[in-house]
Structure 1
């Protein structure tokens, strides 16, 4: 039961952080491209890689704490469903170049960020 509560608490925090960061990015860079979602997903991927190494491989962390960070907070923080909707909206608006750029940037940068996070975690 404690693990479920940890996930719920992490999810609540992650979703609020996602909203705040995404809104801030859109405020600075505009809404012509889904920059907010891209930034959140890349940051979330970096943190997922880093925290996976730290919490699973390096530290003796309780399962509930790992669940809080990896499943709850980062699961709610990253936004694949939002990415999908924004990409589809770009496609339906005839913005095929922007849609393709969003897919390529999101996949490449998020995989790269997760790998970087894992590499950073192994350096600690």
Structure 2
């Protein structure tokens, strides 16, 4: 005996109905450049982060200042960037995915942050790990907020 199928059948938006072969082709043409610029930007951002890690390596068991700095810098740049492209100037449609998602997404790093926390715990420094966890959150959010607010004021000042 099979159970009745109680799933709700929601209507399909024809703009995104991927069962329509022509719409799939349109989406592929529209999304291919976006995927390409995100990939290129991600490679550039990741390479920059890797280079920063080589220049300022974190010794085992010590506080990961480099990762904290990278994440803070990336968040500060995204604060400026998003205000500039949404409130300041009109930019090409591929600029946001290239810089925001690609470059800055590749530059900032949640995975290294998580590994750093694990390494601190494994080194017997759980308080430092917890401090790093909290500090990164506050520094990253503070960097975005501060730079976005400052950029917004600067743009408003130029328009006056």
TM-score (norm 1): 0.90
> Aligned residue for 1:52?
82
Mark the structure with the bigger radius of gyration.
2
**Which of these residues, 28, 40, 53, is aligned with residue 22 of structure 1?**
53
Please state if 1:8 is matched with 2:6. no
Task: Give SS of 1:36's match.
Answer: helix
8 Å CA contact retained: 1:22, 1:39: no
Name the residue aligned to 2:110: 80
Question: Is 2:74 aligned against 1:68?
Answer: no
Please say if residues 90 and 96 of structure 1, whose CA atoms lie closer than 8 Å, have aligned partners that are also in contact.
Answer: yes
Q: Residue 8 of structure 2 aligns with which residue?
A: none
Which consecutive unaligned segments of at least 5 residues does structure 2 have? 1-31, 156-160
Higher helix share: 1
The answer to which structure, 1 or 2, has the higher relative contact order (CA under 8 A, 6+ apart) is: 1
Q: CA separation in 1, counterparts of 2:108 and 2:71? A: 5
Q: Which residue of 1 aligns with 2:13?
A: none
Distance (Å, rounded) in 1 between the aligned partners of 2:50 and 2:85: 25
Return the offset for 1:79: 0.5
In structure 2, the partner of 1:104 is 134
Matching residue of 2:145 = 115
Deviations 1:51-81 (CA, angstroms, capped at 9, x unpaired):
0111122211122111100000000100111
Deviation at 1:45, TM superposition (A): 0.6
Give ranges in structure 1 of 5+ residues lacking alignment.
none
